[in-house]
Chains A and B, each alone.
Chain A
């Protein structure tokens, strides 16, 4: 099963454009990433630019509305993610525990949905769209 570990750094919601991790922390993180890789569990990872250079698209009344970052109301934002493949929820949590996180950081562990988990009608709907597109 796959899990996404979402890194949520406090304060990133207001970070200036171009904010980069400091080199010392980066080295520790690289070692952690390497340990995930050597254990054969890492599928993908990325860091994200701060929301100040991002945008939010919402749909009030079903109509797209775009707001540029930073977002005044945001309390928590994602700063990056790891996608891992492990045996259990407990193992995903164990890997998250091993991250050299700092005081202001938090990792949210979330399981990736698989198509096989969906009820038949949802799967049919997904297949129907595919057939129509062909």
Chain B
């Protein structure tokens, strides 16, 4: 006998099946919003029937069959209103009548493509970045609106509204349910990668709320990233992003101290890094490099993460290589954050004074002077050079500016230690 409750089993089935279900339906009805509604209706039907009938042997096929019947009804209804839909209805009727008990197994590759198409639609540039994130977690991660709201510390109605609007935008913009072809493909793929990494980062260094890490969100992003690398196996940046996330996630256990305070990378107990995730990350990076992608933006970031992962102690880090990687990254995608990290690497490789020179150059820029990470890096370099009074002032300013409560405690403790 199993102790599992039916609602929890249904939740698990949904997590496993929803993306394939919505993707498969979207291919049939050519409308992602309608596909999602149909899938949700099938889920409701399941939660009404399964407690009585038990969970079917092949729950995915059951959900698909139920949703397809609803789709057929819906399209017939629409066809009466608008004749031109009759053709699509016919197509579904033919597919339904062909009697394949398990669509998922018969059309495995096609199903994979459906999921990939769904990713491209959910991350379409016509949507705002926030809408892409919510829609991706909802359509591909199988998360409920409530779960997304909790994860991002945003009121549930806001997320619900965001998803409704996003679906409407996709319908109104007539975003086709297809894989983008070459001229657009690179840009569209990078939008997908960006969304996945946004989710990961929100879990890895929470910008809001009282916890430093939200591991569930990291796991959701990793799951999406692993799927993406499987479904787009020839895209080096898909593997590179996965490598980056796996290696960063490998440090999760070491990043938080026993009372919940964050521990910076170079001070972490490396024996607590997860060797399985490091190994997976290094393998994914090797795959990206084999595909000729070693100079991609995620590949360079993954190579930097790998550089840390390979060093047994912080002192053994190859800082000169690190500087070279940051140089390449800075040329490819110039950003103050990259420049700041380059300053850290330069400080380690060639002395704190050389690092501070870069940081002070950055701090002079109008928008960056108050950036909290920049101030913290500057403080570290000042401490190393021995300018403690300036270090303390920089630290207190950083504590004042962060929204994360745990980070603030850490910053204040460091400020106190400067004397």
Residue ranges of A at the interface with B (Cβ–Cβ < 8 Å): 31, 35, 37-44, 83, 85-91, 93-95, 115-116, 120, 123, 130
Contacts and interface: CB of A to CB of B under 8 A. Distances in A.
Contact of B4 (A87, A90, A120): A90
Contact of B11 (A39, A88, A123, A130): A88
A95 B11 contact: no
A39 B8 contact: no
A38 B23 CA distance: 14
Given A83-B276, A130-B271, A40 B4 contact: no
B225 interface: yes
Interface of B: 2, 4, 8-9, 11-13, 15-16, 59, 108, 112, 115, 216, 219, 222-227, 230-231, 253, 258, 269, 271-272, 276, 280
6 shortest interchain CB distances as A-B pairs = A40-B226, A40-B223, A90-B12, A91-B12, A40-B227, A90-B8
A39 B23 CA distance: 13
A87 B276 contact: no
Contacts of B15: 86-88, 91
Contacts of B12: 86-88, 90-91, 93-94
Given A40-B226, A90-B4, 11 more contacts: A37-B230, A39-B16, A40-B224, A85-B223, A86-B15, A87-B216, A87-B219, A88-B8, A90-B9, A90-B11, A94-B12
A37 B258 CA distance: 34
Nearest to A37: B230
B276 A94 contact: no
A42 B108 CA distance: 18
Contacts of B224: 40
A90 B142 CA distance: 15
Contact of A41 (B9, B13, B223): B223
Contacts of B276: 43-44, 83
Contacts of A89: 4
B267 to A, nearest CB: 14
B112 A38 contact: yes
A41 B15 CA distance: 11
Contacts of A85: 219, 222-223
Contact of A40 (B59, B112, B230, B271): B230
B16 A40 contact: no
A91 B8 CA distance: 9
Nearest to B280: A43
A103 to B, nearest CB: 16
Nearest to A83: B276
